[in-house]
Structure 1
Amino acid sequence: MLADIAENAYAAGAYAGVGVILMIVSFAVLDLLTPGKLRSQLWTDRNRNAGILVGSNMLAVAVIVTAAIVASEGRLLEGLAYTAVYSAIGLVVMAVTFLVIDLLTPGNLGELLVHPESHPAVWVQGIAHIGVSIIVAASIL
């Protein structure tokens, strides 16, 4: 029993560590796609649009990591490999989705993100990121 607890704790720590790293990468990708400093938009300017998009992106990464954990069926190395590969796919597709929505809609999505007034386009983009993560997660399972 104690051995199982130790093994599960190790796995939980490994998945959490990889998940946090992927969330950091996700934040960095969003920062590249948007004008200005995303950190400042969130913590200094308290920009709600930035918060919605970053929060939805973090949730999207968590969905993919969770699916990878379930799909690994207790095989830690396989699960970590699933997590890395499928999360990378998800991040690329989320970035492409951001660019496609930006191209197909009027205005500049990045500019809307840093605007202090709430805009529905940010919700659309956030939901698109979650949708992408669900599709990627389903492909794992």
Structure 2
Amino acid sequence: MDLLSSVGYALAYAAMGLAVLGVGYLVLDLLTPGRLGEHIMQNASVNAAIVTAAGILGLGGIVFTAIWTNGDSSFGAALGWTIAFGLVGVVMQAAAFRLLDLITPDDLSKIVTLPGFHPASLVAAATQVSVSLVIVACIA
């Protein structure tokens, strides 16, 4: 493979990875009240930042693993698998967040947007990462 092809593939994978991360962020934004970016940037919500960071790191791990394990197949197939597993990660993270919200006594979606630290944000973050690790294990 020549340098130009390698750079092209890297750009395509990076663009697709950014798209998956963006979709993951938007889905989490839909699951929480208000604008997630405002909670993080204007309200300095540590909770929102912790949960968002965990979700993005988890999705990044899924995208990385999908690219790494499918790199020997054709570019189109590898990119397709990476998109598919990335979207599965987004859906499963959202489902896990909603399930955790249902089984906790208070409204988790509101708690994770509070400005002051709340321990529930760590549980929500761990759930995001754990779901991602399960998907990574399925890929590998």
**What TM-score do the two structures reach when normalised by structure 2?**
0.93
Aligned residues: 139
- Could you tell me which amino acid in structure 1 is paired with residue 16 of structure 2? V
Distance 2:115 2:43 in 1: 8
After TM superposition, where is structure 1 displaced by more than 6 Å over at least 4 residues in a row?
none
Q: Give, in angstroms, the shift of residue 122 of structure 1.
A: 0.9
- Is 1:120 the counterpart of 2:87? The answer is no
**Structure 1, unaligned runs of 5 or more:** none
**1:83 aligns to what?**
82
User: d(CA) in 2 for partners of 1:104 and 1:43?
Assistant: 29
Corresponding residue number in structure 2 for 1:137:
136
| 1:29-74 Cα distance to aligned partner (Å, 9 max, x none) | 0011001111111111121111111111110111011111111123
1:81 maps to amino acid: G
Cα distance in 2 for residues equivalent to 1:80 and 1:73: 9
Aligned to 1:22: 20
| Higher fraction of helix | 1
Question: Residues of 2 paired with 1:79 and 1:63: CA distance?
Answer: 16
Once residues 136 and 130 of structure 2 are traced to their aligned partners in structure 1, the CA distance between those partners, rounded to angstroms, is: 10
Residues 5-16 of structure 1 mapped to structure 2, 5 A cutoff: 5-16=3-14
Question: TM-score, with normalisation over the residues of structure 1?
Answer: 0.93
Query: Which of residues 55, 60, 63 is equivalent to 2:61?
Result: 63
CA displacement, residues 79-117 of structure 1 (integer Å, 9 cap, x when unaligned): 211111111111111111001111111101011111111
The equivalent of 1:72 in structure 2 is 70
Find the aligned partners of 1:4 and 1:20 in 2 and give their Cα distance.
24
Report the Cα distance in structure 2 between the residues aligned to 1:130 and 1:12, rounded to whole angstroms.
Answer: 25
Name the amino acid aligned to 1:40: E
Coordinate RMSD, CA, aligned: 1.2
